[in-house]
Amino acid sequence: MIRRERHEDEAEISRLIEAAFGDGDVARFAEQIRASPGYVPELAFVVEEEGEIVAHTMLSKVRLDGLDVDLLILTPMSVRPDRQRQGVGAALVVAALAAADERGEPLVLVEGIPAYYPRFGFESAAALGLEPPEEGIPDAAWMVCPLRAYDPALRGRVVYPSFFPPPPTGA
Report H helices in 10-151.
10-21, 25-34, 88-102
Q: How confident is the model at residue 146 (pLDDT cuts 50, 70, 90)?
A: very high
What's domain 2-159's superfamily in CATH? Gcn5-related N-acetyltransferase (GNAT) (3.40.630.30)
β-pairing verdict for 156-159 and 130-131: parallel
Beta-strand relationship, 123-124 and 70-79: unpaired
Mean pLDDT of 77-103: 95
Q: What is the mean pLDDT of residues 142-148?
A: 97
* pTM for the whole structure: 0.93
Domain locations in the chain as residue ranges: 2-159
Per-residue pLDDT for 96 more than 80?
yes
